[in-house]
Amino acid sequence: MTTPWIVLATIIGYFILLFIISWLASRGSDSKDALTGGRQAPWFIVAIAMLGAPISGVTFVSVPGMVVAKSYSYLQMVLGFIVGYFAIAYVLLPLFYKRHLVSIYGYLEQRFGGGTHKTGAWFFFISKMLGAAARFYVVCVTLQLLVFQPLGIPFIINVIATVALIFLYTLQGGVKTVIWTDTLKSFCLIMSVVLCIYFVASGLGYNLGEMCSAIAGDYSSRMWFFDNPKEGTYFWKQFIAGIFMVIATTGLDQDLMQRTLASKDAAESKKGLIVSGITQFFVIGLFLILGTLLSLYVTKNGMAMPEKSDELFGKVAFADGMPVVVGILFILGLVSAAYSAAGSALTALTTSFTVDILGADTKQDEARLSHTRRIVHIAMAAGMGIVILVFYAISNSDAISAVYTLASYTYGPILGLFAYGMMCKTPVRDRLVPIVCVAAPVISFFVQQWLEKQYEYTLGFELLLLNAALTMIGLLLLRKK
């Protein structure tokens, strides 16, 4: 069987599993269950779902290749993630459960007012739509090269077909479907990485002891960087960035928090969140170990190191000397990460738009709410497909980088809004909050340009904190007497 047909068969098999899980999860569900997951998810299922939830298709191909230039420095940030998960579990989760929130941005309305609520929801909407579409675009391009192009299928059909399938399996089950498909995703990711480690190590002729010695002795396995504060890999930069990044992009992200809010109470949610945060350190470690083995395999077999580190995993997976099963495992891990992440984002966008922007959950009965949710779900799927096609039309690395930079701008005001809401009790002029939230990223952009021009200092993850700080300063200026 040729490579395109192997890939296509793997994708079809995975989608069959997704539809079976979606059907089982959606039985007896109504629109309220689709938005909340029924609030009955066991904590250990939420923990497994949250383990794989932050991992997208881009992460799946990028993290192994990261070792070539940055070694295992990413684990320093993952340590910060663990601290951030504890902060979410003991600060944010009790707050969300106490207020009985369907969407976490409902807190902004209760604390500030309708203008602030919609501002936070729109910032999430823009960030999630662009970020999810960008990540899914990268995977669609990879699959286009591996399977659809050799079969003569144009890119637009690739996008329409895959977005349509994701739309269908998330339509009825909603959050409950997301939790169970993410559980499948976590299992597929871990299985794929572990088996790929085994097959690549076997291809290198290593037993377990030899593999551990080779990894420990390779330059790429360096984990701690305390020597140069100016470098992006410096420990404290990575660790502190990890804390605030996970608070902003997980704790204040409806896409990821919709899973934890499906537990019956805050105590159950805490257990699931903390277990997943700690376990994530070891899962990311597996990806990095695989990266070292892939690098060693390329060197030993005289293969050219790919120009882009993201291509390392796929290059070795489909190399002539590799068993066919490694290519299948690569595709299985890639599609499970990509399609589940896209389905989760689609569900979160539907929930946030329906609840936060339209307010349909409080204004409509069950029949009308169900109809509204379906219309919104169709619109979100269509919007995601259109954005992916726009990326394809203007595709270059700078365009994609710009999208991720934009996402870092949009999370800053959300972090600032929640931080002010929890730390300061004074009310603000709600109708002027949107101006502050737009002004903060604009000012941050000019500060970023000025620092780079005057001092050759590049703002990295500090940009998130600068955005949040400017938002809080703006809110302090809007305080009511």
- Encode pLDDT of 136-193 as tens digits: 787 787 778 777 787 788 888 888 888 887 787 676 555 566 667 677 777 777 888 8
* DSSP H helices in 301-354: 312-317, 324-352
Domain around 74: 3-395
Which pLDDT tens digit goes with each residue over 223-267? Answer: 888 887 767 677 888 888 888 888 887 778 776 776 676 667 777
* 184, 15 Cβ separation under 8 angstroms: no
Question: For residue 12, which of 323, 317, 339 has the smallest C-alpha distance?
Answer: 339
Establish if 155 belongs to a structural domain. yes
Our count of domains for the chain comes to 1
Establish if 85 belongs to a structural domain. yes
Establish if 481 belongs to a structural domain. no
Local confidence band at 1 (pLDDT 50, 70, 90 cut-offs): very low
Residue 56 backbone zone (phi > 0: left; psi -120 to 50: alpha; other: beta): beta
Establish if 27 belongs to a structural domain. yes
* DSSP H helices in 218-359: 235-246, 254-260, 266-300, 312-317, 324-352
Establish if 163 belongs to a structural domain. yes
Owner of token pair 């029924």:
38
Which pLDDT tens digit goes with each residue over 355-398? Answer: 778 877 677 677 787 788 888 888 888 888 898 888 877 765 44
Establish if 147 belongs to a structural domain. yes
Establish if 125 belongs to a structural domain. yes
Give the DSSP letter string of 76-107: HHHHHHHHHHHHIIIIIHHHHHHTT-SSTTHH
Establish if 471 belongs to a structural domain. no
| CATH assignment at residue 251 | 1.20.1730.10
